[in-house]
Amino acid sequence: MRSYLPEFLKPEALQHYIPIMDSLAKEHLETDWFPHKEVKVFPLTRKYTFALACRLFMNIKDPDHVTKFGNPFSLVTAGLISIPINFPGTAFSRAIKGGKLIREELLSIVRKREMELSENKGSTQVDLLTRILLIRDENDRGMEEKDIANKIIGFFIASHDTASTAITFVLNYLAEFPRVYSEVLKEQMQIAESKGPDELLNWDDIKNMKYTWNVACEAMRLAPPGQGAFREVTSEFTYAGFTIPKGWKGCS
């Protein structure tokens, strides 16, 4: 992972993703939020983050193609913490079937992208899949196609519910605290008024969202999006008068 993730997650790359996130967010709001008087936030944010992952990981833009991935992926996530009984009708059984469908589709995409790269017809945007395909070991061999598909699935799972949960709780707290909502709205409107009609957000705009960022951080502090992670103390330290010895484990 050290050979391809740093390039994908370095600050310059993250800054490049901002207008992509902005354009997809606008499309998502216009399609799935504005036509309705009432919406369920968490399912819709999951839809948005999944479409964003498809775009950033594999440069998939077609909504129908995203849906083709999204339906079986929902089965997979529903079965992640289910009882591992592979019996027809169980969540675990449906997750296995969903995983097979996703893997088959991913293998098809991997092979197509490999052909494009070999013919120098790769997309202008170097996404995560392309970076993985370009990696070579000391014997000039690339990663196996099945391993690449499994890596991509892992990134989907890791990025999906955590981002969706964070967005959902930010909106939840904004609804609970009108004063905070007003301040966030005020800051966002100032940034929106400084932009042209079709101009997308950029890194400078994000840096100006100081109050909004504090709200997002506080929301994630109050409701961590990745709950239940086990951690081990690597070196002894003291906190609030208590000594925590090396080797102790806890759940965050």
Asked if residues 95 and 83 have their Cβ atoms less than 8 Å apart, the reply is: no
pLDDT score of 28 more than 90: yes
User: How crowded is residue 107: how many other Cβ atoms within 10 Å of its Cβ?
Assistant: 14
Domain chopping of the chain, boundaries: 5-176
pLDDT of residue 95: 92
pLDDT in tens, 38-62: 999 999 999 999 999 999 999 998 8
Assign domain 5-176 to its CATH superfamily. Answer: Cytochrome P450 (1.10.630.10)
By DSSP bridging, strand 242-244 and strand 230-232 are: unpaired
Q: How far is CA 215 from the centre of its chain?
A: 20
pLDDT in tens, 232-246: 888 999 988 989 899
Least confident of 4-8, 114-118, 157-161, 201-205: 4-8
Tokens, residue 30? 């216009």
Least confident of 15-19, 57-61, 229-233: 229-233
